[in-house]
Homo-oligomer: A and B are copies of this chain.
């Protein structure tokens, strides 16, 4: 199998090397920033730096566009590939239909994880979300993903949107709450490390129980209005945090009042 990449950022960096580890050849790497493509090619066996978006090797099986969501529409317009090459992007939020005017063979190859070049990660545990224009393509992409990961899911564009919304709540917003918590402690010269074991245990419980709702604790679920009032008045000088406290407290009360099934 022959694979080429457009993009040499964090995602391409990890995927390309993972493929070569299972003897899938990376033939070419294109990047708007040629230096990035060179750096990645140095990590690979035979890959060469591609200088334009015209791919002519008829044996190229899969072209992976591992570029930012913003860059995708422009790149898609510029690319030319042999008619049998499958073109995929790696984005969580762009529909597969972005390819419909470009080629007949396309799909999505979305690794649901954050990548950093400098940080090694166990690609075998990364969930890959696969979508293909037809079953032949889907199979091919599923095989490609299975060669590097034990966790491969068929996810269509609608479900991918759902996943993305879910990830915003479970990851982006969670991280923001941790940032707010750190600031609340720092304002009183308290070391955030003191909360870490509790945070780790909270996550562990939430992810091992049937549903995180079974692990909910705190003043809101206890309907401990005295504590809630004390906390709200504690937060009176930071109205944004106060509003978040009020809304999430209301949401917890509402959640367990109506969804205690």
8 A–B contacts from the bound complex (CB under 8 Å): A113-B197, A125-B197, A127-B193, A127-B194, A166-B184, A172-B219, A175-B212, A244-B248
Q: In the complex, are the beta carbons of A203 and B205 less than 8 A apart?
A: no
A216-238 CB mask vs B (1 if < 8 Å, else 0) is 11111100100100110011000
Point out the residues of chain B lying under 8 angstroms from A231, CB to CB. Answer: 164-165, 168
Give the interface centre of A126, A158, A200, A207 by most chain B CB atoms within 10 Å. Answer: A207
Point out the residues of chain B lying under 8 angstroms from A169, CB to CB. Answer: 177-178, 180-181, 184, 241, 244-245
Tell me whether chain A's interface is mostly helix, strand or loop, or mixed: helix
How many copies of the shown chain assemble into the complex?
Answer: 2
Point out the residues of chain B lying under 8 angstroms from A129, CB to CB. Answer: 194
Question: Roughly how many angstroms separate A172 CA and B201 CA in the complex, as a whole number?
Answer: 12
Point out the residues of chain B lying under 8 angstroms from A192, CB to CB. Answer: 166
Q: Is A78 an interface residue (CB 8 A)?
A: no
Q: Is A39 an interface residue (CB 8 A)?
A: no
In whole Å, how far is A259's beta carbon from the nearest beta carbon of chain B? 8
Point out the residues of chain B lying under 8 angstroms from A188, CB to CB. Answer: 158-159, 162
Q: Which of B165, B203, B252 contacts A172 (CB 8 A)?
A: B252
Q: Is A195 an interface residue (CB 8 A)?
A: yes
Q: In the complex, are the beta carbons of A179 and B216 less than 8 A apart?
A: yes
Q: Which of B182, B213, B217 contacts A171 (CB 8 A)?
A: B217
